[in-house]
Structure formats: structure tokens, C-alpha cells
A and B are shown apart, each in its own frame.
Chain A
Amino acid sequence: MESKFPNRFFPLLVLLPTLLVCGMFLYYPVAQSFSWSLLRAAFMGLRTLYVGTQNYVRLFTSPDYLHSMWVSILFAGGIVIFGLAFSLAIALLANRKVRGARIYRTALIWPYALSPAVAGTIWLFLFNPTAGVVNYVLERTIGISPDWVTSQNLAVFLVISAAVWKNLGYNIVFFLAGLQNVPGQVIEAARIDGAGSWRCFWRITLPLLSPTAFFLLIMNMIYAFFGVFGLIDVLTKGGPARATNILIYNLYRDAFQHNKWGMASAQSVILFIMVVGFTLLQFRTTGRKVHYGG
């Protein structure tokens, strides 16, 4: 039996601030999302009209909204695949025993300290047609000068590359930690038995890294869905032609630019359900809980 303090009132008293904040600023707004999602609302609720499930029906039959879902998934996929692949490669490199390994490690991971908005700003400049450098380099080497501003596919590339670059450090740190947990003797034994580096990696290292990889998969997906908002707002604003219009950006535009508070609330509800579903799924597979940065 664990020892406890006897008071009955005291614990509730000290829990009160947390409960109040959670109730008022977390639960209440989520509940309100549900109720507002059944309305058509303008001017932040000064004008409302009950429309039942119309918002949801419209969203799920709207090619633009479904496209936003696709874009979110596309970004998540790109950021996870490229982010983890590059980070793993760099982590493997940084794991080698050389002099100055710690300095190298810092030099490889520090861009993590940048914000997504800063990454977006730098990319905006790098790819700027008049002042940037990328088009100049491309012109000189391959002889093409892509129109970054107008091309929908290139915009996707811009966002994913900036997002991957910014998050490399974070992924590398975890991979390094995971790699250090791979017992050296196992690798040595395999080597002596004649296994090549590639087989060692594939059969031993990678499986041992899979918990780390799985964790990073989740963190990068959250990053792709929510964290890159600032990056997109600075770099492409959801365009061109909605090519980078992820779900949260669409929500933001509908609420704060298009004055459609009911429709935005419906989108919030859908996002909430996705988050819940995702959390439960992850809970099932690992039994761990997730940190959303709150």
C-alpha cells in the first residue's frame, strides 16, 4: 500500500487550476466545435443559421476538401519517408567513431532549433526568381529555370524539402540514440561470420531501430499535419491552386479569411476525430502515449 497524505480537500484544491484550464480552454472549445459545426455562421457568431449536417456533407463531397486531405497525407508521406531516410543515413555516418564526433553531431542537428516559419522564409528567398540562388545554379548546371511561383508540383517539393531540412536534427538525435543501443558485439560477431555491411544493417541494425523509427514516424506525421502551418503560410499560403493546402491551412482560411465559422468548426471536428483515431491506433500498437507539444 502506498503511503498517502490524509487530507480530502487539499488534493482537489491543488488540482483545481489544472481542471479549470482544461475544462475551460480545452474541453469547452472542443465541445463548441461540435455545436458550431451544425451551423452556418458569419462574423464570429454574430449571425448564425442552423443547417444540421450540411457542412459535413459538403465537406465530404467537396473535391477541394478531399484534395486537402490528400495533400496532408502526401506531405506526411514525403516528410516521413525522406526525413527518416536522410536522417538515418546521416545518423549512421555520425555514429562512426572519429575524433570530434560530438562537434560533428552538433553541426548536423542544429537546424532543428529553427522554427518552421524561419525555414519557410529562407526557402522563399533561396527560390526567389530575382534575388535567390537556386535558379541561378540550375540555369548554370542543367540549363533550366523552373517557375517555382506558378508550378503546383514544385510547390509541393518546396514545402516538403524545407520541412524535411528543418526536422533532420530531431530525427538524427533519436536515430543516434537508437544506434547506440545496438550492441556492438552482435555486429562484430556477424562481421566475423562474413556478413557484409549491408546485410548487417538490414538484418540487425534496422530491426533493432524499429521502435525508434516508429516513434519518429508518429512525431513526423504530427509535424506534417500541424507543425508546418507556419512554413506554408510564409512560403506558399496553400497554393498555387491549393497544391499545398493542408487540412489545417484550409481550416484557417475558411475561418479567418472567408468568414465561414460553421464550416471551419466542422473541419475542426473532423481533425479532432482524426487525432483521436490516430492516438488510439498508436496506443494499441505501442501502449505509449503521445506528446503533441502541449
Chain B
Amino acid sequence: MADNKKTRDWYYWRPKLSTFSTHLALLLTALLIASPIIFALIKSTQSTAQISTYPPQFVIGNSAAENYTVAWERYNLGKLMANTFGVAATVMIGKTILSLFAALALVYFDFRFKGLIFIFILVTLMMPVPVRVVPLFKLVSSLGWGNTFWALTIPFLASATGTFLFRQHFMSIPTSLVDAARVDGVGPMRFLWQILLPMSMNTIGALAVIEFVYLWNQYLWPLIIISSNDNQMIQMGVKRLTSAGPEGMVHWGVSMAGVIITMLPPLIMFILLQEQFMRGFALTEEK
């Protein structure tokens, strides 16, 4: 009996106290999580002199325009981001097309070795880039693709994940559609284009955002295969942010400005396309 009374009293006070403390805890946590970026943001507005002073100053400086301009120009960030967008778009479209084709073949046709071919594709899931990076480098260099757009795109056009997901998705589509299509004399390509594609937009969208993040964050491969700064991908720009500038030293204000700049595209994408991201995450879980 005493227990129930205690519980009842607690339940009475709980809403007010717990709402306030929940808000407080959430706010503090969010602030804590954001604090490194807030620090980077503040410092990106300061001049070298301000950054070099001790104790560190937490005021917003006057050098924001200068730092951001220098970061943009010195590290060629515009070109790098354009390159990365270009590669990302190409690979995303390529992967989607190739995976759709593969799934189409695997689901709506019968042919010899179909099972084997599917396994052949799936096994590549165990071959992430780090595992094959050394001979891949040699192969791509011997093809003469060193330091080119081809090196960044062609090796990534196939997708076991995409094939698997689309295949899963296609298999869940009622077979009556196929029958109807055949009766109407619709060929497989038209079937894909007019019927399967519109039904797969969710999957395509979710895959696209995951792919984009993956390509935007690519580090090891561009590091070794691209040697000229003009052809580089954006993470290599990030790497250079911590190398010495013309004065022979790192200008941290400029570096932090560079960090903020390179952070923005995926962040904006993330905030605008949160739903797609969540769906993409869910997809990677459920397969």
C-alpha cells in the first residue's frame, strides 16, 4: 500500500519536474555535441594573431570574410566540391542503372547460372575498397586512368547492395503486373522504365543519399589515385587544411573556415532530406 502511495505522489510531481529537466538535459546534450563545431565556427572568424594569443579568446573575430575567401581559394574548395559532386552524380546514376538492370534480369528472367550469378554479385559485398586497394591502384594506373575521372567512377559502378535491394523490391511486386505487361506486348525495357522505375523511387532515393555520403567521404582511394590538385575530391581538400600555408605554418582560422565550408553540403542535404536518410538507414538494416 505504501508503495502505491509513493508511486502516486511521484506520478503527480513527475510531469512538471521531468519536463523541465528533460528539456534541460536535451539542451545541454545538444550543446555539448555541437561544441566542437561551435568552437571551430568561432575560430574561423579570427585572425592568426587572435588565434595565437594565450589564453584562447572565444570572441567572434573580424577576419571571417578573409578567412573564408582564403580557404576557398587556397585549397581550391570550389573545384574539389564540383569534382566530388560530379563523381557522386555519375556513380549514383550508374549504380542505380546497373543495379536496376541486374535486378530486372535476376527477377524477371530465367536463364542458366542465374543463382550462381546472383551469388557472384553478392560475394562482392566482402570486397570493400581497403581490401583491394593495392592491386586496384596498379590496375587502374596500368589502364592509364591514374589521376582521371574514370578512376574515381568506373570501379564503383556496380552495386551488390543495390542489386540485392532492388531484387527484393521487385520480388514483392505482384506478378499480375508482369503478366499484364506481356499480354500488352510490353518488352522488358519498357516494363522497367514505365512500371518498375516509378514504383522503386523510394528505394532509389534512399540508396542515393547513402551513396552520396559514401562518395563525399571517400578518402583512401582519392588519396592514392589522384595526384593533381585540380582533379581531387573534397576530403583531400580537408586533409590539406592542416598542412602549412604559404607562411610555412598552419593558419587555423583559415583551416576552420575550410572545415565549415566542406561540412555544409552534406549537412544541408542531411537536414533537408532527413526522411530519405532515415529510410536509407533502415534499408541497410533490414537487408
- Write the residues of chain A forming the contact surface with B, with a CB cutoff of 8 angstroms: 2-5, 7-8, 10-12, 14-15, 17-19, 21-22, 24-30, 32-33, 36, 44-45, 90, 93-94, 96, 98, 104, 106-108, 110-118, 121-126, 128, 130-133, 136, 165, 168, 170, 173-174, 177, 191, 194, 212, 215, 219, 226, 229-230, 233-234, 248, 251-252, 255-256, 261, 264-265, 268, 271-272, 275-276, 279, 288-294
Contact = CB atoms under 8 A, between A and B. Distances in A.
B125 A125 contact: no
A123 B259 CA distance: 12
B111 A14 contact: no
Given A21-B155, A22-B124, A233-B239, A275 B160 contact: no
A290 to B, nearest CB: 6
25 contacts: A11-B106, A15-B101, A18-B99, A18-B159, A25-B136, A27-B124, A29-B135, A36-B135, A94-B26, A107-B30, A113-B266, A116-B217, A117-B217, A118-B259, A121-B255, A122-B39, A124-B242, A125-B255, A131-B52, A136-B54, A136-B56, A234-B239, A252-B224, A291-B125, A291-B287
A1 to B, nearest CB: 9
B219 A229 contact: yes
Size category of the B interface is 35 or more
Contacts of B259: 118, 121-122
B182 to A, nearest CB: 7
Contact of A168 (B33, B111, B223): B33
B201 interface: no
Given A115-B235, A294-B160, 15 more contacts: A3-B178, A4-B109, A7-B109, A8-B109, A17-B98, A25-B136, A104-B26, A108-B29, A130-B54, A131-B56, A230-B235, A268-B131, A268-B134, A290-B125, A294-B129
Contact of B139 (A32, A255, A288): A32
Nearest to B104: A14
Contacts of B109: 4-5, 7-8, 10-11
Nearest to B188: A5
Going nearest first, the 9 A-B pairs with the smallest beta carbon separation are A230-B219, A11-B105, A32-B135, A21-B158, A11-B109, A29-B132, A25-B155, A14-B101, A29-B135
| Residue among A30, A104, A118 having the largest count of chain B Cβ atoms under 10 Å | A118
Contacts of A125: 40, 43, 252, 255-256
B198 interface: no
B124 A294 contact: yes
Nearest to A196: B7
A222 to B, nearest CB: 8
Contact of A276 (B111, B126, B159, B278): B126
Contact of A108 (B30, B136, B159): B30
B164 interface: yes
Interface string B240-273: 0110000000001001100100110011011100
Contacts of A136: 54-56
A212 B286 CA distance: 10
B238 A118 contact: yes
Interface of B: 3-4, 7, 18-19, 22-23, 25-26, 29-30, 33-34, 36-37, 39-40, 43, 51-52, 54-56, 98-99, 101-102, 104-111, 117, 120-122, 124-139, 141, 154-161, 163-164, 175, 178-179, 182, 187-188, 191, 210, 213-214, 216-217, 219-220, 223-224, 235, 238-239, 241-242, 252, 255-256, 259, 262-263, 266-267, 269-271, 274, 278, 281-282, 284-287
A294 B238 contact: no
Given A26-B127, A29-B135, A122 B37 contact: yes
Contact of B132 (A15, A17, A26, A110): A26
Contacts of B262: 115, 118
Contact of A107 (B34, B102, B224): B34
A251 B242 CA distance: 23
A259 to B, nearest CB: 12
Contact of B128 (A7, A226, A234, A255): A226
Contacts of B111: 8, 11-12
Contacts of B286: 288
A240 B254 CA distance: 26
Contacts of B270: 110, 112-113
Nearest to A293: B214
B154 A15 contact: no
Nearest to B50: A131
Nearest to A8: B111
A14 to B, nearest CB: 4
B220 A15 contact: no
B197 to A, nearest CB: 14
Contacts of B284: 219, 291
A229 B130 contact: yes
A237 B284 CA distance: 31
| Residue among A94, A215, A234, A292 having the largest count of chain B Cβ atoms under 10 Å | A292
Nearest to B46: A131
A30 B30 contact: no
Given A14-B102, A94-B26, A122-B36, A264 B134 contact: yes
Given A27-B124, A118-B238, A288-B287, A33 B134 contact: yes
A264 B213 CA distance: 28
